[in-house]
Amino acid sequence: MNKPLMNSLPVADRVFGFQVPDVLAIVGALYDRWMQRTNLADLDDRMLRDMGISRADVERELSKPFWRLS
């Protein structure tokens, strides 16, 4: 019988019950989301119009906390 990987990892390789690579993936995803919203804020009105997005849509997206997806 194989032991679950989580139990076989040393404590230093786990953070709050998650494996370190999982935590790094989550942090990376949150950073990507923040960067996408930052880049969206930098677009001018012509670019937004080309994409079918209004400035109000951008402001609504920017008002969300970085961890919130939708």
How would you label 2-37 residue by residue, b for 16+ Cβ within 10 Å and e otherwise? eeeeeeeeeeeeeeeeeeeeeeeeeeeeeeebeeee
Read off the pTM.
0.61
What are the pLDDT tens digits along the chain (70 aa)? 444 555 555 555 565 666 777 888 888 988 999 899 999 999 999 999 999 999 999 999 999 887 777 6
Name the residue ranges covered by the structural domains of the chain: 17-70
